[in-house]
Structure 1
């Protein structure tokens, strides 16, 4: 069968539709088993208050959550479905990239390699900032390739500029894309004339213009996003050599788990080979190597210095996926690798399929262990128990003297505020108590409860300690209504004390 035959193309669309159907069927079960992650409800809160920026990220995820909340009536299934649809779009774009750069067989293998990873399973279940980033990065790769190899057309550069611009609103990582564009053009003789084309530079400038409202917002808020981002690169003051070695081993081990061991080994191998054999690479291979290899090297070296979040290098594996698929389908002759490596294709797909299937089957097993009470085996125990807690809070709220004039006030981690705001059926306005005055989340940037003077507060305290006296002094009266106790199997539980603060007199959070 020729690699570009119609049947090869049809198989790819069958695979895409089959994955979409299976994941749609899995969603109700997953929703019944797990609640939203803390970040998801937090971004949903952003969506209730649209703005040009937020504490830790650009605004796109908040805007998208706002649309999802409006379209679904603030239901959990809407968030899960959004993740699935965006994830399916990302896979479609990757397939198109592999097909257009090489052939349909390569596109099919790219699709399989990307879909058959636990990382992609998570990407299609959890609607966080990485979902739109991966979609827009994939779209930008496809648009850039079209602009590079096609005839000079302003529309191509305009599309690229729009995709990159919207991408910068999803996550700061997208700002690296135009840098890699310039690097690729500068290091590739056949493409170097791009640096003299107005369309090339206008696409870069146009994309950066999207950041102007975000920069203005940050300037108005003391550059809080920049300050937060800087914290990611702080190292432990007392970290010793053993700590750094553990970090260094932990990062690649996590990456191998997320992308499956043989696929991850293949991705790193072609990336390293592309750097080593750079001079003999063609234009396609150089483009893919530029958008993958340098960054992957940087992140693995960074792991020697500090802890690296597993999702940080996610977008740099996309181009590596295409390069690996082109190598294994022999669509690319740019890389020279040992014969044994070429034989890893089938085992890699089989291992990936097995591990991906386990990623879906494990929740079912965890569901069974939860029924027997052994919830300690569940690594995602943090994201269940919120729904019944919210329902209990809703009953407390409905029994308040003035439920429509009562807001939610949560102590502790920000997820207490966002999860209760989402899962309490009334979806009350939520605030967070931060007594030291430090800006630790978006809640400290929003207006304080001072805007609700005269109203009552349903206060949730995630501990058995009494409420802080300086909090109680803000109200005319504070009384304990009861407790929320959500069992997690028979070996754990979530507990909150619930208070009613009547008649907010003023708002003084700090001493």
Structure 2
């Protein structure tokens, strides 16, 4: 009898351990550990790849441009709210203007964004679905670029994801003031990152109006105070624009201008939008995102509160962008934030979390094709940078700038009046930004715009008119006729002499060259007008 009792107790103990291992809590802990293991491994790999990439390529033009913004913190800039400039300024201060610091920032933002999305998905569904969301996002070419190049989308995606999480938490416990305060801050910081964030409060109201369980939120003052205070972060940006003739608005308006096209050109532009989206999000995954959004709309009545939340935060905007693509060109990154909840919806669908079933094909081939593209992209970059293929025109735009800056800096070291000499360029805004970043002296760069209009932040800032009487070290893009200086620049100086040439070999008969001039004693300067900004280059 005693033996039987012991055996019975052992059996019960084993059954208890088995039950614990198969319980939802145990499963959640397992998938959570797997997620953070995956996140850590990806972070280490990307950190090593980033260091390799940094050793082979310089900053992209936009990155150098935003870095230059960071040296003059303000409440606004020519084309964007101030967050990217502030972040660049902080990075420059913390890392001594090191290129790896600029490259590390998007990796940190991207890693944090994945962690937030996992937390949101685990809250909505389960940790296993959260793990799949991370895999699906990691298996997109877009995610490679988002974690390697520091643009305005890196902070925007983080604050957007935080807003999705915090609004859901606030809706579940509307009496919790801290959740609303966190949401207010996320919306505000997102608004300072990119104007697209202003769409989020509208989605909050629409969800509260559509969801029966959340309709009481419309009577909750916390919701309206959060929206009011969160969007109020745009106030100093608007104030800055009033001081600069609404230059950001004027720039943004050009993105929505349309031109009459032939049927063939219109069809080419229209098809370009889904083709590029399929490339950046991986073809099968992109198709799966469209399918799940379509099916979710079709089965709206059978969706629960969670699925409706995700659909309302993605579907209508994605449909709107497709409609907009019929009338104009759409930049690939514009709808990026609206794919975030769609990825969660997709993961829930293939995991059986939605009322309509998904075939295994969508999960299996999304990960296979997406994963293959990611591997190919990394191998392609390795092969290109380690062979003569790195002479491609697009890659040349990110190469050779360090050497260019070193050569340019030597000219600055030799000017006769260093205390009374400023540096300027006559080329594109990237010329000014890259020289400012790569010249060892990190000089303040001025730019001459031949059109006399405001095309960049360099025309918004005070120009050489604040340096009357000083000399100028002038870098003229070597693509123009050698030895020739623009009459529009020369007329402002007492005299101009040619000092030499900066020339860097980029391989395959490609060179980057600047003719260097010394303008003696600036006599006058015509500051570009801001009343009619010219159309910016996309």
Q: TM-score range by the shorter chain?
A: over 0.9
Q: State how 1:249-288 maps to structure 2 within 5 Å.
A: 249-288=271-310
Contact residue 307 and residue 354 of structure 2 kept, 8 A? no
Partner of 1:403: 418
1:75 and 2:98 are equivalent in the alignment: yes
- For 2:365 and 2:258, locate their aligned partners in 1 and report how far apart those are by CA, in whole Å: 39
Give yes or no for the alignment of 1:115 onto 2:141: no
Larger radius of gyration: 2
Unaligned runs of 5+ in 1: none
CA contact (8 A) 1:408 1:421 kept: no
How far has the Cα of 1:389 moved from its partner?
Answer: 1.1
- My pick for the range that moved more, 450-459 or 125-134, is 450-459
Do the aligned residues in 1 keep the contact of 2:181 with 2:226 (CA within 8 Å)?
yes
CA distance in 1 between partners of 2:129 and 2:419 (Å): 58
Classify the secondary structure of the residue corresponding to 1:499. Answer: strand
- Offset of residue 369 of structure 1: 3.8
Against the structure 1 CA distance between its residues 468 and 509, is the aligned structure 2 distance closer, same or farther, given a 3 Å change threshold? farther
* Correspondent of 1:425 among 423, 426, 440: 440
Match of 2:384 among 366, 369, 386: 366
Structure 1 residue aligned with 2:460 = 445
For residue 398 of structure 1, report the CA deviation from its aligned partner: 1.2
User: Compared with structure 1, are the counterparts of its residues 404 and 117 closer, same or farther at alpha carbon in structure 2 (3 Å cutoff)?
Assistant: farther
Secondary structure of 2:58's partner?
A: coil
Which of 463, 480, 483 is the aligned partner of 1:464?
480
Q: Which runs of 4+ in 1 moved over 4 A?
A: none
Asked if the contact 1:369–1:375 (Cα under 8 Å) also holds between the matched residues in 2, the reply is no
What does residue 203 of structure 1 align with? 226
What's 1:290 paired with? 312
Q: Deviation per CA, 1:117-169, whole angstroms, max 9, x where unpaired?
A: 11111011111101110111011111111111235211111110111011100
C-alpha separation between the residues in 1 aligned to 2:447 and 2:174? 55
For the residues of structure 1 that align with 2:390 and 2:305, how far apart are their CA atoms? 54
> Where does residue 355 of structure 1 map in the other structure?
373
Instruction: Please name the residue that 2:193 is paired with.
Output: 170
5+ residue gaps, structure 2? 1-21, 530-538
Q: Which digits, 9 at most, give the CA deviation of each residue in 1:302-337, with x for residues without a partner?
A: 11211110000110110001111111112x234x14
Deviates more, 1:491-500 or 1:83-92: 491-500
Partner of 2:391: 375
Range that drifts further, 198-207 or 396-405: 396-405
Post-superposition offset of 1:277: 1.7
For 1:79 and 1:105, locate their aligned partners in 2 and report how far apart those are by CA, in whole Å.
33
Equivalent residue in structure 2 for 1:87, among 82, 85, 110? 110
1:305 counterpart SS class: coil
Other-structure match for 1:486? 504
Distance (whole Å) between structure 2 residues aligned to residue 508 and residue 100 of structure 1:
59
Check the 8 A contact 2:454/2:528 in 1, yes or no: no
| Alpha-carbon offset, residue 493 of structure 1 | 1.9
TM-score scaled by length of structure 1: 0.95
**Candidates 354, 357, 361, aligned match of 1:333:** 354
- Matching residue of 2:492: 474
Q: Report deviation, 1:289.
A: 0.4
**Counterparts of 1:227-238 in structure 2 under 5 Å?**
227-236=250-259, 238=260
Aligned CA-pair RMSD: 1.7
> Is the 1:133–1:171 Cα contact (8 Å) retained in structure 2?
yes
Select the residue among 330, 338, 362 that pairs with 1:344: 362
1:391-439 CA distance string (max 9 Å, x none)? 1111111122233432221112111111111111100011110133211
Q: Distance in 1 between matches of 2:137 and 2:120?
A: 12
* Counterpart secondary structure, 1:457: strand
Q: Distance in 1 between matches of 2:465 and 2:449?
A: 14
Report the counterpart of residue 18 of structure 2 in structure 1.
none
Corresponding residue of 2:205: 182
Partners of 1:32 and 1:352 in 2: how far apart? 27
> How is 1:230-249 mapped onto 2 (pairs within 5 angstroms)?
230-236=253-259, 238-249=260-271
Larger mean CA deviation between 69-78 and 239-248 belongs to 239-248
Distance 2:91 2:369 in 1: 35
CA–CA distance in 2 between the matches of 1:385 and 1:58?
A: 30
Once residues 144 and 505 of structure 1 are traced to their aligned partners in structure 2, the CA distance between those partners, rounded to angstroms, is 58
Instruction: After superposition, give the CA deviation of every residue in 1:349-379 in whole Å (9 maximum; x if it has no partner).
Output: 1221111112211111211343xx6723x64
1:2 positional shift: 5.8
Q: What is the deviation of 1:509?
A: 5.4
Match of 2:15 in 1: none
- Secondary structure of the structure 1 residue equivalent to 2:336: coil
Question: Distance between the aligned counterparts of 2:302 and 2:158, measured in 1?
Answer: 31
The CA distance in 1 between the partners of 2:527 and 2:510, in whole Å, is 32
Give, in whole Å, the separation in 2 of the partners of 1:152 and 1:346. Answer: 42
Larger deviation, residues 302-311 vs 274-283: 274-283
1:471–1:509 contact (8 Å) kept in structure 2? no
